[in-house]
């Protein structure tokens, strides 16, 4: 049964619970209310294919409804009726729990599917590039006849494999945007195939090249999807690190205000916290190894963060804090708790860096933004009023175009700072706000490890080499000047 159906069952549960089941009002009006409620619930169960707990719940509700609706003198407070109500609630709650979404390996499964898509796309691209070389040679040699027909057959095979992959991706997501590049590649393959059948390899070549370019875009799209999922996984670890750090800080404050004899209770809380920290470290290790095929640098970064946590005695400090609390040695316990808090904060910072690299690393918009920020830093307060306004508006627009700008609070705050600078009537205040925004934005770009990510992108996409190189030099110069206070 669909989980939403159970929304209609909650009134019955709440009614029974609020009455305590032992002190139920036995008035006829209340009995009639329960009967009507049961009738509605029974109808939902009756209109569904039932299995498992649904069947048990349906049976109990039907029995209870028929007994209360039979006209007998039994009241709701009758022990037999109370027993049936309890039993019905028991099975309803089990059915609700069973209908709730289960924790699954959804992200892991999706990543496997996307990695499979990526392998197929890369294979198609390699074969299309090889075919384009053959078509180019055929065109330069004025080739005609059966060799061109063989090339047409090969192009058709590639197109059919692409169509199968396109169908699979669209059925999975239902989004045309996920297959737009594949559709373009398919159309160009079909046009090239047609030219080859007409012994026209020259006109066929541009279609093959456009198809290869479209496949490259599709590959980049899948890589971005994979990076997004990986970033979400790391984001969960970042959040857990922050939550545990805050929990340790709160416990340290309790320890500071503790009196004699209270160490035992605080020790129990510390032991619980220590176990959660252990679980977090194990989860980081597992996630790092899962990401190995996707991004070796992310795996290396996460394993390095674990090594740093070990060097900082994160777990050992937690155990020492627990032992100190056993003997009410609060000062010693607080010292160790402080180390745990700091270690968790450092761990969270490292996870945040890895998340940012995964989420934003290969976005060329960062390069354009870095170039614009450098220009703004060089102009300083010398630009005219209209030029200053337009420059800040452009910075806000570029920030807004970054991936996840609608959910990343840091990007949203910087966007607002540039927008306020652009439209402020107080030019001195606007310039001051703009300078602060430029500084913070540059730090954010650096935190995203943009330079390393773009270098990785050079190796994957030669056609974009020239533009990112230009950005890289300007960003390096920009950060150098900031570091030297120029």
Question: Residue 295, Cα to own-chain centre: how many angstroms?
Answer: 16
Cβ neighbours of residue 32 closer than 8 Å, sequence gap 6 or more: none
Picking from 125, 103, 106, 102, the residue whose alpha carbon sits closest to that of residue 114 is 106
Are 372 and 478 in contact by the 8 Å Cβ rule? The answer is no
Q: 458 exposed, middle or buried (CB, 10 Å; 0-12, 13-18, 19+)?
A: middle
124, 260, 107: which is closest to 185 by C-alpha? Answer: 124
Which tokens sit at 169?
């991706």
Q: Which residue has the higher pLDDT, 30 or 173?
A: 173
Q: Confidence band (pLDDT; 50, 70, 90) for 482?
A: very low
CB 7 within 8 A of CB 100: no
Average pLDDT over residues 160-166: 94
Do 298 and 230 contact (CB within 8 A), yes or no?
yes
Enclosing H/E stretch for 357? helix 330-360
Give the distance, in angstroms, between the CA of residue 400 and the centroid of all CA atoms in the same chain: 19
User: Would you identify the CATH topology of the domain 106-220?
Assistant: 1.20.120
270: number of CA atoms within 13 Å, CB side? 33
CA distance 460 to 294: 14
Confidence of residue 135 (pLDDT cuts 50, 70, 90): very high
Instruction: Check pLDDT > 60 for residue 3.
Output: no
Residue 4 confidence class, pLDDT cut points 50, 70, 90: very low
**Which tokens go with 460?**
């994957």
Instruction: Tell how far CA 307 is from the center of its chain.
Output: 25
Closest by CA to 451, choosing from 360, 361, 358, is: 361
Retrieve residue 378's tokens.
């060089």
Q: How far is CA 292 from CA 230, 297, 298, 300, 483, in A?
A: 11, 8, 8, 8, 34
The better pLDDT of the pair 334, 378 is held by: 334
- pLDDT for residue 46: 55
Give the separation between CA 481 and CA 475, rounded to whole angstroms. Answer: 10
Give the predicted TM-score (pTM) of the model.
0.53
Is the Cβ–Cβ distance between 328 and 291 less than 8 Å? Answer: no
**Can you tell me the distance from the alpha carbon of 53 to that of 93, in angstroms, rounded to the nearest whole number?**
9
pLDDT per position as a tens digit, 318-340: 999 999 999 999 999 999 999 99
Q: What pLDDT sits at residue 11?
A: 46
Residue 21 has pLDDT above 80, yes or no: no
Say how far apart CA 57 and CA 1 lie, in whole Å.
11
Question: Phi and psi for 26 in degrees, rounded to 5?
Answer: -105, 20
- For residues 278 and 486, which has the higher predicted lDDT (pLDDT)? 278
Distance CA 149, CA 141 (A): 15
pLDDT digits (tens, 9 = 90+) for 229-265: 888 889 899 999 999 999 999 999 999 988 888 898 8
Residue whose token pair is 């059925």: 171
Q: 439: closest CA among 387, 479, 392?
A: 479
In 413-477, DSSP assigns E strands to: none
Mapped onto helix, strand or coil, the DSSP state of residue 436 is: helix
Q: Which CATH class is domain 225-359?
A: mainly alpha
Q: In 23-52, where does DSSP find H-type helix?
A: 28-46
Contact 208, 188 (CB under 8 A): yes
Residue 55: what pLDDT? Answer: 60
**pLDDT confidence tier of residue 362, bands split at 50, 70 and 90:** low
Residue 9 · residue 64 · CB < 8 Å? no
Give the chain's mean pLDDT.
77
**pLDDT tens across 196-230, in order?**
999 999 999 999 999 999 999 999 888 888 888 88
Distance from C-alpha of 131 to C-alpha of 99, rounded to nearest angstrom? 51
Which sign does the torsion angle of CA 70, 75, 78, 81 carry?
A: positive
């Amino acid at each position: 049964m669909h989980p939403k159906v159970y929304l209609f069952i909650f009134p019955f549960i709440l009614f029974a619970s609020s009455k305590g089941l032992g002190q139920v009002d036995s008035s006829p009006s209340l009995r009639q209310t329960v009967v009507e409620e049961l009738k509605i619930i029974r109808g939902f169960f009756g209109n569904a294919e039932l299995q498992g707990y649904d069947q048990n719940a349906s049976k109990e509700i039907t029995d209870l409804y028929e007994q209360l609706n039979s006209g007998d003198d039994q009241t709701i407070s009758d022990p037999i009726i109370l027993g049936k109500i309890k039993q019905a609630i028991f099975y309803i709650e089990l059915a609700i729990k069973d209908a709730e979404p289960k924790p699954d390996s959804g992200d892991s499964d999706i990543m496997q599917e996307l990695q499979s898509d990526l392998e197929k796309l890369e294979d198609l691209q390699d074969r299309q590039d090889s075919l384009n070389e053959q078509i180019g040679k055929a065109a330069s040699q004025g080739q005609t006849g059966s060799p061109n027909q063989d090339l047409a057959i090969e192009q058709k095979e590639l197109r059919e494999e692409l169509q199968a992959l396109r169908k699979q991706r669209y059925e999975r997501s239902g989004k045309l945007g996920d297959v737009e590049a594949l559709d373009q590649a398919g159309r160009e393959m079909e046009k090239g195939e047609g030219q080859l059948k007409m012994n026209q390899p020259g006109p066929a070549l541009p279609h093959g090249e456009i198809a290869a370019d479209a496949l490259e875009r599709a590959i980049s799209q899948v890589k971005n999807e994979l990076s997004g999922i990986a970033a979400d996984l790391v984001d969960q670890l970042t959040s857990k690190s922050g939550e545990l750090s805050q929990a340790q800080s709160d416990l340290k404050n309790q320890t500071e205000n503790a009196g004699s004899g209270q160490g035992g209770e605080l020790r129990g809380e510390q032991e619980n916290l220590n176990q959660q920290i252990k679980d977090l470290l194990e989860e980081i290790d597992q996630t790092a190894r899962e990401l190995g095929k996707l991004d070796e640098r992310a795996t290396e970064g996460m394993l390095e963060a674990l090594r740093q946590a070990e060097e900082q005695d994160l777990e050992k400090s937690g155990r020492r804090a627990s032992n100190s609390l056993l003997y009410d040695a609060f000062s010693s316990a607080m010292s160790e708790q402080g180390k745990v808090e700091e270690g968790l904060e450092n761990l969270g910072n490292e996870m945040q860096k890895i998340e940012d690299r995964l989420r934003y690393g290969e976005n060329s918009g960062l390069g354009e933004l870095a170039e614009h920020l450098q220009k703004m830093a060089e102009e300083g307060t010398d630009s005219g009023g209209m030029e200053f306004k337009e420059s800040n508006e452009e910075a806000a627009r570029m920030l807004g175009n970054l991936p996840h700008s609608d959910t990343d609070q840091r990007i949203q705050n910087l966007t607002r700072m540039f927008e306020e600078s652009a439209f402020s009537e107080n030019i001195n205040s606007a310039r001051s706000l703009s300078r602060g925004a430029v500084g913070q934005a540059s730090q954010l770009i650096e935190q995203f490890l943009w330079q390393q990510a773009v270098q990785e992108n050079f190796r994957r996409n030669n056609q974009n080499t020239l533009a990112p190189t230009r950005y890289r030099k300007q960003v390096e110069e920009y950060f150098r000047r900031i570091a030297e206070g120029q």
